[in-house]
Amino acid sequence: MVRIGIVGLGNMGRSHSKNIFGGKIPNGKLAAVCDTDPSKLQWLKEIGHEEVKTFTDAEEMFKSGEVDLVIIAVPHYFHPPMVKLALANNLNVISEKPAGVYTKQVREMNEAAEKSDKVFGVMFNQRTNPIYRKVRQMIQDGELGKIKRITWIITNWYRTQVYHDSGAWRSTWEGEGGGLLINQCPHQIDLWQWMFGMPNRIKSFVSFGKYRDIEVEDEVTAYMEYDNGAIGTFISSTTECPGTNRLEVACEMGTLIVENDEITFKRMTVPEPQFNENATLGFQSPDVWECKVPPLLGAENTQHSGIINNVIDAIEKGTPLLAQGTEGINGVKFSNAIHLSAWTDSWVDVDNLDEDLYYNLLQEKIKNSTYVKNLREQVSDTKGTY
Contact status, residue 361 vs residue 343, Cβ threshold 8 Å: yes
- pLDDT of 386 > 70? The answer is no
Q: How far, CA to CA in Å, does 129 sit from each of 32, 97, 125, 132? A: 29, 16, 8, 6
pTM of the model: 0.94
3-class DSSP state for residue 132?
helix
End-to-end CA distance of the chain: 43
Average pLDDT, the chain: 95
- pLDDT of 381 > 50? The answer is no
Band the pLDDT of 148: cuts 50, 70, 90: very high
Q: DSSP for 18-87?
A: HHHHTTS-TTEEEEEEE-S-HHHHHHHHHTT-TTSEEES-HHHHHHTT--SEEEE-S-GGGHHHHHHHHH
Q: What's the pLDDT at 369?
A: 87
Q: DSSP for 194-205?
A: HHH---SEEEEE
Contact status, residue 177 vs residue 325, Cβ threshold 8 Å: no
Of residues 146 and 383, which shows the higher confidence score?
146
Q: How far apart are alpha carbons 119 and 271 in whole angstroms?
A: 43
Q: How far apart are alpha carbons 274 and 145 in whole angstroms?
A: 12
Above pLDDT 70, what percent of the chain?
Answer: 96
Q: What's the pLDDT at 380?
A: 44
pLDDT tens-digit map of 280-314: 999 999 999 999 999 999 999 999 999 999 999 99
pLDDT tens-digit map of 170-202: 999 999 999 999 999 999 999 999 999 999 999
- pLDDT of 375 > 70? The answer is no
Q: What's the pLDDT at 167?
A: 84
Domains of the chain: 2-126+302-324 (3.40.50.720), 130-293 (3.30.360.10)
Strand bridging mode 28-34 / 2-7:
parallel
Other C-beta atoms closer than 10 Å to the C-beta of 220 total 25
Average pLDDT over residues 333-337: 98
- pLDDT of 371 > 70? The answer is no
Average pLDDT over residues 44-58: 97
pLDDT tens-digit map of 73-123: 999 999 999 999 999 999 999 999 999 999 999 999 999 999 999 999 999
Q: How far apart are alpha carbons 5 and 24 in whole angstroms?
A: 16
Contact status, residue 170 vs residue 176, Cβ threshold 8 Å: yes
Pick from 339, 374, 364: nearest CA to 178: 339
Q: How far apart are alpha carbons 236 and 228 in whole angstroms?
A: 25
Band the pLDDT of 168: cuts 50, 70, 90: confident
Q: How far, CA to CA in Å, does 204 sit from each of 13, 99, 238, 335? A: 33, 22, 17, 10
Average pLDDT over residues 46-60: 97
Average pLDDT over residues 316-324: 98
Long-range contacts, stretch 297-303, CB < 8 angstroms, 24+ apart: 299/128, 299/130, 299/133, 299/134, 300/128, 300/130, 301/128, 301/129, 301/130, 302/125, 302/128, 303/125, 303/126, 303/128, 303/129
Contact status, residue 100 vs residue 328, Cβ threshold 8 Å: yes
3-class DSSP state for residue 206?
strand
- pLDDT of 385 > 50? The answer is no
For the four alpha carbons of 69, 70, 76 and 81, in that order, the dihedral sign comes to negative
- pLDDT of 376 > 80? The answer is no
Q: Is the peptide bond before 242 cis (omega within 30 degrees of 0)?
A: yes
Range list of β-strands (E), the chain: 2-7, 28-34, 53-55, 69-72, 92-95, 120-122, 147-154, 201-208, 217-225, 231-237, 245-251, 254-259, 262-268, 288-293, 348-349
Q: What's the pLDDT at 169?
A: 85
Band the pLDDT of 384: cuts 50, 70, 90: very low
Pick from 36, 9, 73, 51: nearest CA to 308: 73
- pLDDT of 372 > 70? The answer is no
Average pLDDT over residues 17-40: 97
